[in-house]
Structures are given as C-alpha cells and as structure tokens.
Structure 1
Amino acid sequence: MLIETIFHPDQDASSTSLSYPRLSLNDAITCAKARLLELQNEEGYWVFELEADCTIPSEYILMMHFMGEIDATHQAKIVQYLHEQQDRDGSYPLYKGGPGDLSCTIKAYYAMKLAGDSIQAQHMVKARRWILARGGGAKANVFTRIMMAMFEQIPWRGVPFIPVEIMLLPKWFPFHIDKVSYWSRTVMVPLFILCTYKVKARNPNNVGISELFITQPESEKNYFAHVKTPLGKSILAADRMGRLMEPLIPGFVRRKATIKARDWFMSRLNGYDGLGAIFTSMVNAYEAMDYLGIPADDERRRIAREAIDRLLVVKPDKAYCQPCVSPVWDTGLAVLVLQEVDRRERDPIAEQSLTKALNWLAGRQLSNEPGDWRVQRPNLPGGGWAFQFGNSHYPDVDDTAVVALAMIESGDREFAENIERAGVWIAGMQSANGGYGAFDADNTHSYLNHIPFADHGALLDPPTADVSGRCVMFLSKLVDRQPEYRAVIDTCITYLRNQQEADGSWFGRWGTNYIYGTWSVLTGFESAGISKHDSHIRKAVVWLKSKQRADGGWGEDNDSYHDVGVRGESETGSAFHTALALLALMSAGEAGCPEVKSGINYLLKNQQDDGFWKDDGFNAPGFPKFFYLKYHGYEKYFPLWALGRYRNECGDFIS
C-alpha cells in the first residue's frame, strides 16, 4: 500500500484547522500528546516518513527505465519532487543546506532526462554546468558508475571488478560477505550477478548522458583516480589482475557461484518487506531476478516489485521514494515518550494506546529463525526486533534495546519473556571491545573500506557510542534480577568512557551527531547508576551547555560529520536537538539549571499551532559523509519527551 496524502504526520501547520495559542507547559504537553495519539495506526504502531536525499527517488525512475516498466504518473510526480529539491546553483545536496553532491546530481539529472525533461531547460543546464565544473560523470562514485555502465554510458572497466565468484571464497579469505555489514551483503550479492554478466538496462527510449563527460567515456583513463592510499592502490592492482584473468574462470565455477548468489538472495527476499528491507538491495534483487529469467508473473518477482513500491510516498502533486520504513523504531520511541509524559498520573486513553502499541511490538519480536548474525553468534537465542515491519534475518540491536526498555517501563509482566529474550540476545551481541554495532558483532575489518568498491566508506558496522549507550540503558534495568549482565554493562561503560571526545561529547553514528551521541551515552550512564559527579558526565555537561544558542535552543548540522570544528553547532536551532540536549542534561542531574529552563522555553515558543514542532534539516545519517536522512517523527515526539520529563522533575511551572 502506498502512503497517500491522507498520511498526515507531515501536513504543514497551515493545512490543519487546529489553532492553539502559545501554551503553558501543561497545555503544550496535552496538545502534543493528543496529536501523537491521533497518529497511531489502528493496528497499534506509529510510522512516520523517512526521507533521504534525491538519490533514492532518482534511482526509482532509473529502475523503471532499466526494467522498461514505466509508470508515467509516478514518474511525473517524482520529477516534480526533484525540481523542488534542486539548489540554486543547479546541484543536489545530500542534506538540506549541505553542499552539492556530484553523484546525487548526476542521478537526478539522468532521472529527469529519462522522464522527458529537455536538456535545454534551465534547471538541466544549471545541473549540467555544475557537474562538468566538478569533473563530470567520470568522477562519480562507484554506485553511480555501475548504474552508468548498466545503462551503457561508460565501459565496464570504469567500475570495480566484483565477480560472482566472490560467493565461493572461504571465510578465512581477506574478503568474505560475512565480514561486511548486513546492508553491504544484501546490496552486493545480487549486484555480483548484475556486474558479472554486464547486464544492460532496457532503456526503452535510448536516453544517454554523454553531455556529462569532459573526456568521452571510452577514452577516459582515470575512473579510479580517487584511490590514493597504498592499500587501496594494492587492492586496485589486484582488481586489474582479476579482470585480466576472468576469461580463465571455468564455466562450471561461474555457474556454481551464480547459483549460490541466486539462492542466497532469493532465500532472503523477505516478502512484502523486501530484501534487507532497504531500497537499494530490493532494486538490485528485482533486476537480478529479471536477468536470471524469473518471469514477471512469478509471485516472488511480483512481490519483490510491490515491496519497492510500498516505499513510495505519493502526494497530490509530487512523490518520493523512502530508503526504508521505521515503524518499530518510531513505535518504540513513541511509547517511551508517552510513558514519560504520563509517569505522574494514569490516563486511560493513553494506557489503551500504549497497550495496543506494546502488543503490536511483542508480535514483531523475531524468533529463532535463521539470521545472518548467527554466523558470528550461532548459539544465541533469537529475541531481537527489526527496524522495519519485517526483516527476519537482520534484527537491530538499537531497536531491540528501545522496545525492550519500553516493555520494562510498562510494568506489565505479560512481556517478561520478550524482555528476557531481548536481554540474552543483546548481551550476546557485544563486540570484543565492549561496544555494540547496529546489526553485527565485531564487524571491524577496517581494511575492507579501502577496496575500490567501498569508496562510500560504509562497508562495515562497527560498534558505536550511541547504540552502546542504549544497550547499557536497557541492560541496566535487568541487572538486579540478572546479575550476570553486570560484566557486560561494565565492559560497555569502559568502552564508552574511552570513546568520549576530548571536548566531552560523544560521536553520533545513527543520529546527527554529537548532541545525539552525547544524549545516548548520558541516558545509558543514568540508567547504570553512575554518579552525576562522574568526571565524564561533568565534562559532557560543560560541553552541552557551551553549545546552547542565544535563543535557548540547540542545533547541529550534518556539517559536523565533515568538520569536527562545528560539533554541536548550526546556523539555526531545532526542536529535535534542543530536546536531545535537554534530555541529556536532565539525565546528568541538571533539570533545575538555567540552561534547561531556557531550553524548555525555546520548545514552548516554537511549538506550532497543530501541537507539533517543525524542523527543516535532515537529522540522521544513513552513512556519515555519504547518505543522510530525515526522520519526520523526531520533531514530533522528542520535544514532547523533553517537556514531559521536565514536568516530572520540576513541576508544572517554569520560574
């Protein structure tokens, strides 16, 4: 089912008939809470739009032309969305307010041209000039060059050599799919087939983009000029040697590897949620199924296409495609928010909503089904939650900690088994250094980020402070009755102490950025009972207070992933970052300080007439420096969380 315009979490304030004056703390909480409850799905979950940069909607158009399956209505609406997102200089950034990105701009240009936009149109001229001024199509990243090779716009020598025989490599080999992250595995395996057989896009209108190249593609010799490190150059030499030796690969070996790759991704198609439940993996699988001869009317292929289409957000005049959906994450956080808001008194309506949500979540807990994480933890009982509606091979450590904590906070013994299974699973997913990755344990083979394919630098899923902080937050709630978790918690706390930056902050891998990371760790420390006088906590408090803006709020741009000199800073404040900073300070025992009072006033002053808040910026990375996201729910429930906690600690009034 497509998300239609009746999906109202992201209506502008001007589109609603609700009209509220500036409210007191109590009234502001009541209003925002009522609106959040309104948006709960009748099945019990919350899900808000998850918007990425223009790469994903552009790739949706490219997929339609690759397959020759063009929906003119969707295409026209996506093109309208692309028109609206273009910057004045003609480029397309990876996040709002960020610098233009070459690869994103190339894909948007090609998508618009495929859809029928004239190359003489002003927006196309501006985009083309911007691309050429930065070296043209030859300078695009690996994924963009692979797309161009399949559309016959560059020769295959312009992309890394990734033969399907990789599937046959032994686990001890320096590269093996079990050594990379879950998202890398699900993207790469069907891509091995597409690249090995040099699959060509149907491209029914025979649209090309030769005008985006300074040196014509067949003559270009510098497709890998970006490889600079000695290790990278060594691997590139091996890449070239492998390409020369490819004709010597016996046919039976290629067939065996192809069958193994096919069986690997076909066994993980994941129904209507799609391979890995992420767009790029789903598209690669769909295109590989077509090449392998699986007919269009085959149920598996039909469902694979529908899984992709379910990511569309379709509005009356425009549309875009999400990279994935976040119902478990949104629901777990919404439950924690409402539990905080109603901590002082029982609201029967909210209680009914929470029960419904928790029961929905309980039904989504993964069982002992096979999962890729079992490669590293084969004897570990299942018990995690995915990020999406369904993703049985890839439970998410972060989501599991949040959902299980919400179940603990409910006080309902009905969820005791769910909580116990989550605790066992999370404790077992700890990496050797004490921290936690999002999906894998000990996914730390850093040399793999130097292979030519990995120019995005995000092939791995190493432990990070933000996920680790939430694991401490959850496990600390269990340690009184399950003391065996004490060693796990202590080891993780040591990891977090070592991860603290010199200025007192923590890096945020999955949310923007140091404010998010610092909030994550301080809430974990609070749950673990670490003294508020602890030197690491005091250092973090000083850093957070130093980043407060003159208007009382906080803000942080994704620029901080590229320039550490702007940690915790932004040209404008945001309700999301203000809420995180407030929650972090209150976790550190600072609820009564002037900075917290000023921050609460910032949220009250910036609450919209519809009861929510509105932030324009992207608030999380998919991959830092390369791919960013906007969780449309964050500006709705995080500020409510901060207001609710403040009221619980300081009362109804702000002095």
Structure 2
Amino acid sequence: MNFDQKDPAYFWDTWKFSSKNGQQYWQFEIPEELKPIIQSDSDWEKPEGVAFLKALDRAFLFDKKINPNSADRLLRYAHRKQAGEPSIIPSDDSFSLKEKARIALLNGFSFYETLQEPDGNWSGDYGGPLFLIPGLVIASYITGSPFEKPMQVLMKRNIWNHQNEDGGWGLHIEGHSTMFGTVMQYVTLRILGENLSNPDMKRAQDWILSHGGATKAPQWGKFYLSVLNVYEWKGNDALLPEMWKFPKWVPFHPGKYWCHNRMIFLPMSYCFGKKVKAELTPLVKELRKELYTSDYDSINWKKARREACQTDIYHPVSKWYLRLSTIINGYERIHSKRFRKKALNYVEDYIDFEDTYTRYINIGPVNQAINSIYAWHHHGKDSEQFKNHLKRWKDYLWIAEDGAKMAGYNGSQLWDTAFAGQALIEADMENHFPVMAEKIYRYIDSSQIERNAKEYDKFWGDVTLGCWPFSTIDHGWAITDCTSEGMKTAILYNRKEHIQKQHHIDLERLKPAVDWLLSMQNKDGGWASYEKQRAPKWIEVLNPALLFENIMTEATYTECSSASIQGLNEFTKHHDYRKEDIQRALDRGGRFLKSKQDPDGSWYGCWAVCYTYGTWFGMEGLLTAGYKGYEDGTPAPEIQKACEFLLSKQRADGSWGESFESCVQHRYVEHEDGQIVNTAWALLALMKAKHPDRTAIEKGIAFILSRQEASGDFPQEGVSGIFNGNCAITYTAYRNVFPLWAIGRYYRWYS
C-alpha cells in the first residue's frame, strides 16, 4: 500500500463528523483496505499501519506563518460532500451596490445553509487556546486511557503546527512563547511518544531551560506537572479543600468565585488534598531530568512556589495574595486530618453534582480533564462515573486542517445559531431559505434548558429551567447573553407565521427566562455572565493565575448587559408580563452601559476583539434602552461619541481591523490588515444608530463584498474571540454570520 501517493482528501475522508441534538464529535474510520490489517491498537505498529500514520500526519501539515487560524476546511469539505455545492448567482461590477448586496446575501446564506446540521445548529472550530489539550492528554496518561493512534498523530501534528520560531508555544495560537505554553506542549508531546532525538523537541527543551526551567511555570502549570508527578506538591501554594467549609460570609469563599474559576478550583482542591499523582514511570523519571536547570532532588520547592517566567506574567500576584498564601501554606503543614476529610467529602459530592447535572460534559474543558482524574481516582477506572467522562472527551475534540485540538467549550452551538437566525430575519431572507429558518427555530426550541439541578442551592448553583446555554441542552449552564439571544431569536421567529414550527416557544416557556434575567441584574444595573455577583470586586487581588484577569468573581459586562436589554425589550414589545419590572431593568441597564463607556466613546469588549465588538454591543444596548440615534439629526451624546470613535478607526479601504492585542493592552491596536468581522461589527453599530455618513458605510460594505469568495463563503482572518483579557479563541462562525448580518442590515434599511 503506497500511502505516499494518496491525496490529502483520502485522509480527510477517514474522519467522520456527527452532530445529534447539538452534540458534535469526530470519529476515525479505518479505510477499507486497512481493515483486514488493523484490528487492534497494536496493529498500528505493522508496516502498513506505520506508513498510513506517517502519511496521515503529512496530510495535516499547516503553515501558521500564513495564518495561525485554521479555516475549518475539514468540516467544509465534509459538508460539501454531503450537501453538494451551494446555489450561486453571478455578480457583476456593473451592478449597483444594493444589487451586489442582495446577491451576496443569497450566495452567502446559500453557502451557510450547506454547513447547517440536521438538528438545526452550526458546528465549528472553537479552538485557539493551546493549554487545553495538554490537560486532557495528561488525564489520559494518568488514568491509563490512551487515545487511538490516529487521534494521537493529529494531536501531535496540531502542536507541531503551532510551534513558534523560537521553539516555544504561547498561551494561544497567536500568542508569544510562554513557559506555561511551552512546558505543557512539551510534556504532551513526550506522553504521545516524541523524544529529544527530534530536533524540534530539542528546540523546545532549550527554550524551557534558557528561560529558567519548569519551576517558572505559573500556578496552573505547577498543578498539572504535580499530578503528572514531575513537580512536587509542596512546590504549589496550598489549594485547600477546607476553604469549601469556610463560613458563607467569608468574602473569598470559593463558592463566590466566578463559576469557571470555581469549577476548576474544585477538582484542583481534591487533587491537592489527596496529593494525586501519576506513577513513577520511566517517562516521568526522564521528564524530571529534562525540564529543570538543576537536579530534581536538589530543587528548593518552597522557593519554586514564587518563581514565574516573566513572559507569562499578564496579571501579577498582589501583596494580599502573597500574605494569604503564607497563611494557607502554614496551615497545610499542620492541617487537621479530620477537617480535611470532612472538606473532601463535600468536594467529592460537589464534583459528582456537577458531573451529573451537566451529563459529564462539565462547564468547560479544564475541569472536564481534572474531573476525569477525580472520577478515576475516587470512583475507580471501571466506575460508571469515569466511563461517562471518557465518553464525553470526544465532545471537546475538534479536527481541522491543522490537526486535532481541544475546544474551549463543547462548542458554541446555541450562540452561533441564535446570531445566524437573527441575521437571516433582519436580511428578510427567511422566505428564500425556509428550511434553514425552520431548522434554526427547531434548535432554539430543543436547546432551551428543561431542568433545574437537584439541590442546586447546596452547591452554589441557581435555577436554569427555561434558560438557554452557550452550546447544548446537555451542558445545562444558563448564561445571561445566551438566554437573551435565544429568547430574542425565538420571539422574532414566533412573529413569522410562515416559518414552520414543530413546537411553539410560547409565553409560558418564555416567562422563566424573563424571571431569571430580571433576577440576574446586579446593583450597578449591569448583567454578569452566568450568575449574579456574589463577592466584592476587590477579591480580584487574590487572583493567583498570572495568566488571566477578572477570574475571581463575576463581573458585569457590556456585552451581557446589552444582550439582556435587547432580549427583555423584544419580549416586552409583544407581551405584558412584568412590563413595569422590565422597563425599570431597561432604564437601569442603560445607565450601566453609559457608565461603562470610555472617554473616547468606545466600549471595551471582554468576549471578542475588542473595541469594535464592545462598541457594537454598547450602542445596540443604549439604543434599545431608549437613547436616541440620528433619526432626527440630534443623537444622544453617548451615541454621537461612539459613532465618532468608530469612524475615526475606519481604514482607507473602508474596513476596520483590530488585533487581539487591543484586549491585552486595553487600547485600540490596529491589525496589519482589514478584518471582515471587525468591519461588520462597526457597520452594524453605525447603521443601528442611523448614522448619516452613507459614504463611510458603503465603503465598509464594499470591503466586505470584496472579501466574499466565489462559493459564498468568507475567508478566515485573524482570531476574533477573547476571554479574561489575555487568551484568544476562535469563532469560525463569525466570519459568515456577522458579514452577512451587516450586508443584510444595509440591504434592508440603508440601500
């Protein structure tokens, strides 16, 4: 069998994609000619197996110098084979901009419909962070649960594809090299079978050693290395499970943390309390020699707690954290075994609660990996709990042309589908795409959360019944902006009687979402993400991560507040339920958004890049809350300043282009090129305000049209998502949805 002569498509065809009720996953299928030869994992060592895996690896070579963001070509290839080519209408330079916009909408939605899943949602690459897959690979190693060989090959290929020129890896695919990124990728590659005979491994080791060795990894790195048994637990600041038994009035009780931080600290505190670590295997012994600048047994682990590589430090630890850690480290030396056992019992119950409620998906990828280690250690490898985790690993693994990666969630299905649905309606295109519209509504319907967790108040939870998640109904965590966008989309589609609906999302189903959103408004008038603020903002001084900002407690966000305002406003336009309460909430929300506006007229975007995104949400929210646009030529001062800010950033070619560094540096940083997604956000804001500068708007629309491909698709450009100020993340749907939405708003209202 000569696999060297095979086209890359041959190897792409071995990966089959499935989506059912939003659950998305890739599965490897052995080619027919190999089935008689490869019947077990050990058979991959046969000459035919080795040759296939080498050729598979070559089929996923990827040049990050062109663009580190993969274009989700594998998914598009698979859907094209299933759905066929989209119906394309030719355009012509002689056409008016309005006619070009109409054709672009028809072609764009025609293409996007080919990517829609049978259950109505859109799937896609939600990768970007590089520290996620190492956690899962470490979990697989510790628990003795290796991935199948083809998956291992593509995991390694993805890591190699994103190695920086200096030999290291960053926090994310566009980031500079860091100790955390490099150490995590290094140990992952070693677990997956690489060694120092590979020159690129040697470059990575040289980077680590030249920057001081793995003792300089930040806290999360120290934790992962500890469970892998290549770093000592005493080199960590204590992750005390006893903190869960603090009185609830303690401001920094972990139950008051932001939920992602809370659900990561939870299994971390179990692992620390039990001092969980891998067996001392030959690989572990080798890593102990390879990762440090001095002999492992001579390392001063107490001193190592405070060591950190300068390249990693984004949010330095404060003197208050250092003082608190001195106290908790002192307690660890003399801790009560009885109290520890009691605390661990609660932690175990809490982890089981989270696993059960989320149907073993968990809130995110980090605690999925660590909860898996917990389930293996506490319940046993043969337990149903651990087996259920293993089944969910595939929900987080994504295959693209750059290899296999771990997504930042189990997908962004509801989020992307709601925006696509709103874009279709505003463009007045639902009659052209009735099947797409029907399937959108079906997914909005089927993803509304149908349950509350049992004993949620015992485990710092909240009601979720009637809300919407970010991804799937199984995931089950309610989020303010997702609930708002889900509800808003449902209401918009309810008004379109010609769209077929199997089940109707009626008033009784919407009431719980409205009640929850109203209850989630904070004292400052804004909305946070998952929960109401529980702790004072000052506990951010106890942030130990170094890598991220705003992780200690919920914060009120421009985007979540704007979405909540829009969702509640859409509801109250058509229903009388709690009308006065909603109006008060809208007024307070508008004042909150006004307070968040920067002096230059912009808003900082916390969940995407960055000021174009935040300003779009800020303006949509204020306009929805009653602030005047340019309808009669006398806009509200806040709207005028925001428009002036956006217009000041428009480039000569009509585009807007913003780098993720805007998020990191908290100032507008130009991208080296115009970006269709940033351009769409800016245009959506300007057109929502009815800004009179048609020339600027039409130049922006012309730019977007110029980037549309012959297939109706749009190119993948720079990374567009962000979280916690410092980590970029990919949203491949954004390149389709937002340009089409902007074109649709122009075609419908401006042309």
1:477 CA displacement = 2.3
2:482 to 382, 385, 399: 399
The reply on whether 1:219 has 2:316 as its aligned counterpart is: no
Change (3 A) 1:643 1:203: farther
Letter in 2 for 1:178: G
* Structure 1 match to 2:394: 309
The 2-side partners of 1:115 and 1:337 are apart by 43
Over 3 Å counting, the alpha-carbon distance change for 1:160 and 1:447 in structure 2 is farther
- Report the Cα offset of residue 607 of structure 1: 0.7
Whether the 8 Å contact between 1:98 and 1:559 is mirrored in structure 2 is no
Task: Confirm whether residue 162 of structure 1 aligns to residue 255 of structure 2.
Answer: no
Give the whole-Å Cα distance in 1 for the aligned partners of 2:615 and 2:199: 44
Matching residue of 1:492: 589
Identify the residue that residue 242 of structure 1 maps to in structure 2: 331
SS of match in other structure, 2:275: coil
Which residue pairs with 2:735 in the alignment? 635
Separation in 2, partners of 1:108, 1:225: 20
Between the aligned partners of 1:469 and 1:98, the Cα distance in structure 2 is 29
Give, in whole Å, the separation in 2 of the partners of 1:423 and 1:608: 41
- State the secondary structure of the residue aligned to 1:41: coil
CA distance in 2, matches of 1:283, 1:544: 41
Distance in 1 (alpha carbons) for counterparts of 2:435 and 2:290:
60
**Distance in 1 of aligned mates of 2:512 and 2:352:** 28
* Counterparts of residues 25-64 of structure 1 (less than 5 Å): 25-64=101-140
Distance 1:268 1:65, change over 3 A: same
CA offset digits 1:307-355 (Å, max 9, x no partner): 1222112368832221211111111111111111226xx51x6234323
Inter-partner Cα distance in structure 1 for 2:280 and 2:357? 27
Deviation at 1:192, TM superposition (A): 1.2
1:117-128 pair list within 5 angstroms: 117-128=194-205
- Once residues 734 and 76 of structure 2 are traced to their aligned partners in structure 1, the CA distance between those partners, rounded to angstroms, is 20
Assess if the C-alpha contact under 8 Å between 1:164 and 1:196 holds in 2.
Answer: yes
Name the residue aligned to 1:577: 678
Are the equivalent residues in 1 in contact too, given 2:240–2:328 (CA < 8 A)? no
Worse-superposed segment, 522-531 or 493-502? 522-531
Number of the residue aligned with 2:654: 552
2:260 maps to 1:183:
yes
1:67 alignment counterpart: 143
> Which of 149, 162, 168 is 2:226 aligned to?
149
Does the aligned pair in 1 maintain the 2:72–2:401 contact within 8 Å? no
Check if 1:3 corresponds to 2:86: no
> Counterpart of 2:516?
425
Structure 1 residue matching 2:124: 3-state secondary structure: coil
Change (3 A) 1:317 1:530: closer
Q: Is the Cα–Cα contact under 8 Å of residues 515 and 577 in structure 1 kept in the other structure?
A: yes
Q: Distance in 2 between matches of 1:4 and 1:582?
A: 40
- Distance change (3 Å), C-alpha of 1:444 and 1:175: closer
1:495 and 1:454 mapped to 2: Cα distance? 29
Does the C-alpha gap of structure 1 residues 539 and 423 become closer, same or farther in structure 2, counting only changes over 3 Å?
A: same
Cα distance in structure 2, aligned partners of 1:645 and 1:90: 46
Aligned to 1:276: 362
Partner of 1:131: 208
- Work out the CA distance in 2 between the residues paired with 1:334 and 1:289: 38
SS of structure 1 residue aligned to 2:354 = coil
* 3-state SS of 1:608 partner: coil
Q: Is the Cα contact below 8 Å between 1:514 and 1:568 reproduced in 2?
A: no
Q: Deviations over 1:603-645 (max 9, x none)?
A: 11111222121233221113221x3210111111111111111
Per the alignment, do residues 369 and 544 of structure 1 end up closer, same or farther by CA in structure 2, a change over 3 Å counting?
Answer: same
Match for residue 436 of structure 1 among 519, 524, 527: 527
Contact (CA 8 Å) 2:464, 2:476: kept in 1 or not?
no
CA distance in 2, matches of 1:411, 1:89: 55
Cross-structure match for 2:614: 517
SS in 2 for 1:562: helix
Describe the SS at the equivalent of 1:306. Answer: helix
- Secondary structure of residue in 2 paired with 1:570: strand
CA distance in 2, matches of 1:216, 1:543: 56
**Are 1:538 and 2:640 matched, yes or no?**
yes
Q: Report what 2:187 is aligned to.
A: 110
Relative to structure 2, which stretch is displaced further, 353-362 or 40-49?
353-362
Q: Tell me what 1:230 maps to.
A: 319
When the two structures are aligned, how many residues end up with a matched partner?
641
2:437 is aligned with 1:354: yes
Q: 1:98 to 1:62 in 2, by over 3 A?
A: same
Q: Distance in 2 between matches of 1:311 and 1:631?
A: 15
Query: What does the per-residue CA deviation read over 1:446-482, in whole Å, with 9 as the maximum and x for residues that have no partner?
Result: 3433336443332322111111111111222234532
Matched residue SS, 1:572: strand
Please give the alpha-carbon distance, in whole angstroms, between the structure 2 residues aligned to 1:364 and 1:452: 34
Report the secondary structure of 1:319's partner residue: strand
Q: Are the structure 2 counterparts of residues 224 and 22 from structure 1 closer, same or farther at C-alpha, using a change threshold of 3 Å?
A: farther
Amino acid at match of 1:298: S
CA distance in 2, matches of 1:51, 1:157: 33
Structure 2: unaligned runs, 5 residues or longer:
1-17, 19-24, 30-69, 93-99, 309-315, 496-503, 630-634
- Structure 1 match to 2:598: 501
Q: Aligned partner of 2:396: which letter?
A: L
| Contact map agreement 1:4 1:313 (CA 8 A) in 2 | no
Residues of 2 paired with 1:500 and 1:617: CA distance?
26
1:460 maps to 553
TM-score (norm 2): 0.80
Q: CA offset at residue 445 of structure 1?
A: 3.0
Secondary structure of residue in 2 paired with 1:313: strand
> RMSD in angstroms over aligned alpha carbons?
2.8
Task: Point out the more displaced range, 355-364 or 486-495.
Answer: 355-364
Deviations 1:168-195 (A, max 9, x none): 2221123323210111222121221111
Cα pair distance change 1:317/1:228, threshold 3 Å: closer
Partner residue of 2:166?
89
Q: What is the letter of the counterpart of residue 422 of structure 1?
A: A
Helix, strand or coil at the partner of 1:277: coil
1:616 and 1:131 map into 2 onto residues whose CA distance is 31
> Which whole-Å deviations, capped at 9, do the CAs of 1:282-314 have from their partners, x for residues lacking one?
11111111111x233332321111112221123
Asked if structure 2 preserves the Cα contact closer than 8 Å seen for 1:273 and 1:390, the reply is: no
CA distance in 2, matches of 1:497, 1:541: 14
Q: Report the Cα offset of residue 4 of structure 1.
A: 5.3
Q: CA deviation at 1:108?
A: 0.6
Name the counterpart of 2:311: none
Measured after TM superposition, the shift of residue 578 of structure 1 is 0.9
**Contact map agreement 2:126 2:731 (CA 8 A) in 1:** yes
Aligned to 2:571, which of 473, 478, 481? 478
- How far, CA to CA, are the matches of 1:242 and 1:509 in structure 2? 37
Is the 8 Å Cα contact of residues 444 and 462 (structure 1) preserved in structure 2?
Answer: no
Which residue of the other structure, out of 334, 344, 348, is the alignment partner of 1:258? 344
SS of the aligned residue for 1:571 comes to: strand
Cα 1:497–1:371 shift into 2, 3 Å = farther
SS at match of 1:206: helix
Q: Identify if the C-alpha distance between structure 1 residues 84 and 381 changes in structure 2 by more than 3 Å, giving closer, same or farther.
A: closer
Q: Is the 8 A contact 1:81 1:318 kept in 2?
A: yes
Q: Structure 2 CA distance, aligned partners of 1:124 and 1:510? A: 34
Conserved 8 A contact 2:514-2:568: yes
Structure 1, unaligned stretches of length 5 or more? Answer: none
Instruction: Describe the SS at the equivalent of 1:542.
Output: helix
Question: How far 1:63 sits from its partner (Å)?
Answer: 2.0
Q: What amino acid does structure 1 have at the position aligned with 2:552?
A: L
Q: CA shift at 1:518, angstroms? A: 0.5
On the 8 A contact 2:239/2:273 being kept in 1, the answer is yes
Deviation at 1:40, TM superposition (A): 1.6
Residue of structure 1 in register with 2:14 after alignment? none
Amino acid at match of 2:518: A
Aligned counterparts of 1:222 and 1:157: Cα–Cα separation in 2 = 9
> Aligned AA for 1:116?
G
